[in-house]
Structure 1
Amino acid sequence: MFKSWMVIAAISFFVALGSFFITPRDVKWFAKLSRPRWLVFEAFIPFIWTFIFVCGAVSANLVWQKQPNSLITWLLMGLYLLLEIITVTYIPLMLRFRSLRIGEIIGSVGVILGILLTIAVLQTSVLAALLLIPYLVWSPVGTYTTEELIQLNPQDA
């Protein structure tokens, strides 16, 4: 029998693989965009998101452990999954459509869903909710950065 953390980790991993659906041509477009001068941490973004996804998976596992197989827990697992899918689609969709505005919209939806998930999870586990704080802090930074990119590259909005 699989442990809940194994299933959650596997699902998180396979969903995260969706971020690899980008082509070199898409990356070239993004690489040519002007960036804000304060964006000096870009090389660390994959590590930051990895940490955030691990925190999210641990949070989901804590929620599952509190009330396994209950309807509320299944609904929360669905919200966790939806949040990860939305987050992972940010890069591939923005690059595929060459539209920073799409990235901004996806990022904004992720921020709102992250807030709603945290509030919902708080009723089940304070620790699980605290583990979502890295997402709540970083996701708006990414969305704000996308807005800054739009201001610097209006032709690519």
Structure 2
Amino acid sequence: MIKSWMVIGGVAFLVALASNWITPSDRQWFRRLQRPRWLIFEPAIPLIWTVIFICGAWSAYMIWEQNPRTSITWLMMGLYLLLEIFTIAYTPVMFRLRSLTVGTIIGATGFMICLLVTFAVLSVSVWAALLLVPYLLWSPIGTYTTWNMIHLNPQDA
């Protein structure tokens, strides 16, 4: 029998594959952008997001296991999926449109969705809500960084 954590992890992995929908010219565009001097942690960003995605999937698993197959739980799973879609969309959409403003908007929207998910799951599981805290802490940093890059690269706003 397929376990719920396998399905949740599999869906998260499949959605994450969409982040690879970028071309070499998209990567080149992003590499040439100026960055804030204080952005010394850029090499760690993939690892940070990996931890955040694992925490999010674990949170979703905990919510599913509390009340599997109920309409409220399915709604919460939809919110988790929406959060992951917005989070994953940041890179390919910003790169494809070559717009830091779009990246900032997607980042801020992801933060708002995560707040919504956190408050929605809080009544079901405090631990599941706490697993979303890394997203809530990191997402504003990423969004602020992208917003700051607009000022350094006004031609790519």
Q: TM-score normalized by structure 2? A: 0.99
Identity %: 61
Q: Distance in 2 between matches of 1:17 and 1:27?
A: 16
Q: Distance in 1 between matches of 2:131 and 2:27?
A: 31
Instruction: Report the AA paired with residue 45 of structure 2.
Output: I
Instruction: Spell out, residue by residue over 1:59-78, the C-alpha distance to the aligned partner (whole angstroms, 9 max, x if none).
Output: 00000000000111000000
The structural deviation recorded for 1:143 is 0.4
Counterpart of 2:149 in structure 1 is 149
Counterpart of 2:36 in structure 1 is 36
Counterpart of 1:20 in structure 2 is 20
For the aligned residue pairs, the C-alpha RMSD in angstroms reads 0.5
Counterpart of 1:70 in structure 2 is 70
Q: Secondary structure at the match of 1:25?
A: helix
Please tell me whether residue 83 in structure 1 is matched to residue 83 in structure 2: yes
Instruction: Spell out, residue by residue over 1:87-129, the C-alpha distance to the aligned partner (whole angstroms, 9 max, x if none).
Output: 0000000000100011011001101000010000000000000
Q: Distance in 2 between matches of 1:153 and 1:87?
A: 23
Q: Distance in 2 between matches of 1:95 and 1:140?
A: 19
Unaligned runs of 5+ in 1: none
Please tell me whether residue 48 in structure 1 is matched to residue 45 in structure 2: no
Instruction: Spell out, residue by residue over 1:19-65, the C-alpha distance to the aligned partner (whole angstroms, 9 max, x if none).
Output: 10001100101101110000011111111000000000000000000
Find runs of 4+ consecutive structure 1 residues off by over 2 angstroms.
Answer: none
Please tell me whether residue 97 in structure 1 is matched to residue 107 in structure 2: no
Counterpart of 1:127 in structure 2 is 127
Unaligned runs of 5+ in 2: none
Q: Distance in 2 between matches of 1:58 and 1:40?
A: 29
